[in-house]
Structure 1
Amino acid sequence: MSPESTRACSEVSFESGEPLAGTASDAPLFAAFSWPKALWHHDDVALSEGLPAEIRDLAGAAKRSGRKLQLRLFQRTGRQANDPVELICADFQRARTARIPELPIERCAAAISEFIAGGGAGTPLERPLLLVCTDGKHDLCCGKLGRSIVSALRADPQLEVAEVSHLGGHRLAANCLALASGELYGRVAAADAPALAESVRHGRVYLPRYRGRTGLDELAQVAEAAALARFPNATQVRPGAPRTDGDARIVAVELRDGDVARRLAVRCVARVFEVFASCGDLAPEPRARWIAQSGEEEKI
């Protein structure tokens, strides 16, 4: 075993300079339900012990309909496998959420399908929920670094915090997803918890640890983060479709900066970073990423 293979994937990613922006999932649909952590599958949550076979068909059915679904499990302390599950669904493109506090596990797949179709039971999330990946079965960094921030975030009584299965990008651990916004954060440390919690409670992006807004593609996420870095108090931030400029891509981002409507043309270029996809990999691998090179304000 080489010395490189004994290093944590999160450590190698940080030292390579790999940026956070642009690494959230582009799946616009999200569903998570409570299930005992001891029963989580190490790779595919749909294969977790005790789940009905119908759960396995959800992601494929959503994809066939033209929309991708993230399916996750989260842990509620004290719940057992034979208890009703709590279900949380989100449609980030349509700004919809639904929570069903108690549901027979046999009804879970149908309830998720109904939400995806635009209907279903449940009530919208009433306060922010932070889902922190502590899935040590999937990757050591997620388990070790994720658990270290759960208690720090739970110190804020105005936030709900739960441990969740893999959110993607374990090399960027610790990771947490904010609902209902869909903002994904990475490399979160306990010291970030107070500022992150305050930002989430007030509907602001916590830029130092921002990976991107779930449901957008990579270029849109990178451009949105660049626009927020330029105009930290911006609202109604909307990245447009990219246009090609040689090897670069230009993304026009429209936003409101107080009472002023602005448009920022963000120039994105590709860079390659040597990273470990997971802890235990034998050697780093090249990973191409878009980064924001510059931003020029355009007249509207």
Structure 2
Amino acid sequence: MTLCSGASRDQAESLAGTAATARTWLLLEQPGPWGSKALTGSRLDPVLGEHLEAAAALGVRAALIRRPGRTGAGGAARRVLLAHTAPGDSWVRTASTDDPRELLDLDLAALAGGDHGGFGAAHTAGPVALVCTNGRRDRCCAVLGRPLAGELAAAGHDTWETTHIGGHRFSPTMLTLPHGYAWGRMSAGTAGHVLAELARGRTVVDGCRGRSCWQRPEQAAELAVRQFTAEADVDALEVIGTTAVDAAVGSTTAALPTPGWLVTVARRDSRRHWEVTVAEGVSLPASPASCGAAALPQSRMAVLAVRPLLAAGTR
């Protein structure tokens, strides 16, 4: 079987604007095998699994994690990681539990808004790397993800294997916390560089799929501004407005395919703004979204323009 990641790499499919969307991540250690639908098919209490699966509707994305090498006994205390990814308010909290059903008592709406309610303790040991390795969901994640997770762990990085974080065809994929940036087509060298930069409070554009706290057009817009300005500070930018535009209405949007967006990105410490024109197109030739799937045109975010703006009140 041809790996879906090979087809995506061969056609140089764009990574920008492909990250899973979630402002808050809830990660539960679950040793042993994972099913294709991990939260409800991995020996986890079914009531808890369904509860965590439904959390996505509130803005909290849940996943299962395990240390590389599949160590850990099923009866041991489980690690729980909770992370919020908004710029200027990103954090990771960690705790251990002997009974994962305690997570049923979490206030998911509050967590989605960035209020951890004193859960656990602050994680201050640098960036956390989550590498997708769920081969039951997609073959690429096992074939490419597991070796990467092992290499990062061996190099001393705080690394976990994780279940689905989106984008099989960009394997090996990695999510970094607390900032919530997703990455694709990583090697041990490129991933190590990313983690070293994040530890210094800096991020890089190469290999980045976007920051998960934003929707896909906004992810692409933020990365485009970083490329346009060479801004590396991990929390320097925020999205302050997004307007949908119609290709058939108005001369300023006549060149846009439908749908399109005007995304306003700003520096958090000044009045500098940029308006980014983003359109949704397709990547051709057609390719599979995952191993074994039919070849289809894949959605992509195309940045058409980045325009500096003068903020109101600035002379």
Q: TM-score range by the shorter chain?
A: 0.7 to 0.9
The match for 2:281 is 271
The match for 1:36 is 31
Structure 1 residue 36: Cα displacement: 1.0
Contact residue 234 and residue 255 of structure 1 kept, 8 A: no
Structure 1 residue 266: Cα displacement: 1.5
The match for 2:219 is 221
Change (3 A) 1:142 1:130: same
Structure 1 residue 52: Cα displacement: 4.5
With structure 2 as the length reference, what TM-score do the two structures score? 0.83
Contact residue 238 and residue 266 of structure 2 kept, 8 A: yes
Change (3 A) 1:275 1:120: farther
| Offset from partner CA, 1:239-292 (integer Å, 9 cap, x none) | 232332243432121126xx86422222222321122111112x3112232211
Structure 1 residue 155: Cα displacement: 4.4
User: Amino acid of the residue matched to residue 267 of structure 1?
Assistant: T
When structure 1 is superposed on structure 2, of 18-27 and 112-121 the one drifting more is: 112-121
Q: Percent identity?
A: 26
Structure 1 residue 112: Cα displacement: 6.8
Q: Does 1:20 align with 2:41?
A: no
The match for 1:70 is 61
The match for 1:186 is 184
Question: CA–CA distance in 1 between the matches of 2:108 and 2:46?
Answer: 14
Secondary structure of 1:267's match? strand
With structure 1 as the length reference, what TM-score do the two structures score? 0.86
Question: CA–CA distance in 1 between the matches of 2:25 and 2:270?
Answer: 33
The match for 1:3 is none
When structure 1 is superposed on structure 2, of 46-55 and 69-78 the one drifting more is: 46-55
User: Amino acid of the residue matched to residue 275 of structure 1?
Assistant: S
Structure 1 residue 26: Cα displacement: 1.6
Contact residue 56 and residue 62 of structure 2 kept, 8 A: no
Structure 1 residue 186: Cα displacement: 0.8
Change (3 A) 1:263 1:152: same
The match for 1:168 is 166
Structure 1 residue 17: Cα displacement: 3.1
Question: CA–CA distance in 1 between the matches of 2:193 and 2:55?
Answer: 39
Question: CA–CA distance in 1 between the matches of 2:13 and 2:94?
Answer: 35
Question: CA–CA distance in 2 between the matches of 1:112 and 1:155?
Answer: 36
Secondary structure of 1:82's match? coil
Aligned pair partner of 1:253 in 258, 265, 272: 265
Q: Does 1:11 align with 2:6?
A: yes
Secondary structure of 1:141's match? helix
Give the gaps of 5 or more residues in structure 2.
246-252
Q: Within 5 Å, which residues of 2 pair with 1:77-92?
A: 77-92=70-85
Contact residue 20 and residue 210 of structure 1 kept, 8 A: yes
Q: Within 5 Å, which residues of 2 pair with 1:137-148?
A: 137-148=136-147
Structure 1 residue 234: Cα displacement: 4.8
| Offset from partner CA, 1:193-232 (integer Å, 9 cap, x none) | 3312211211222311101101200111000000111222
Secondary structure of 2:81's match? strand
Structure 1 residue 31: Cα displacement: 0.7
User: Amino acid of the residue matched to residue 302 of structure 2?
Assistant: I
| Offset from partner CA, 1:10-46 (integer Å, 9 cap, x none) | 11112233211111112222111111132x1222423
Question: CA–CA distance in 1 between the matches of 2:105 and 2:229?
Answer: 42
User: RMSD of the TM alignment (CA)?
Assistant: 2.3
Q: Within 5 Å, which residues of 2 pair with 1:145-160?
A: 145-157=144-156, 159-160=157-158
User: Amino acid of the residue matched to residue 208 of structure 2?
Assistant: Y
When structure 1 is superposed on structure 2, of 72-81 and 216-225 the one drifting more is: 72-81
Question: CA–CA distance in 1 between the matches of 2:193 and 2:303?
Answer: 25
The match for 2:248 is none
Question: CA–CA distance in 2 between the matches of 1:198 and 1:263?
Answer: 28
Aligned pair partner of 1:49 in 29, 36, 43: 43
Change (3 A) 1:210 1:182: same
Q: How many residues align?
A: 287
Contact residue 111 and residue 120 of structure 1 kept, 8 A: no
Contact residue 85 and residue 177 of structure 2 kept, 8 A: no
Question: CA–CA distance in 2 between the matches of 1:46 and 1:172?
Answer: 24
Secondary structure of 1:37's match? coil
Superposition misfits of 4+ residues, deviation over 6 angstroms = none
Contact residue 217 and residue 263 of structure 2 kept, 8 A: yes
Contact residue 262 and residue 299 of structure 1 kept, 8 A: yes
Secondary structure of 1:242's match? strand
User: Amino acid of the residue matched to residue 304 of structure 2?
Assistant: Q
Question: CA–CA distance in 2 between the matches of 1:62 and 1:142?
Answer: 22
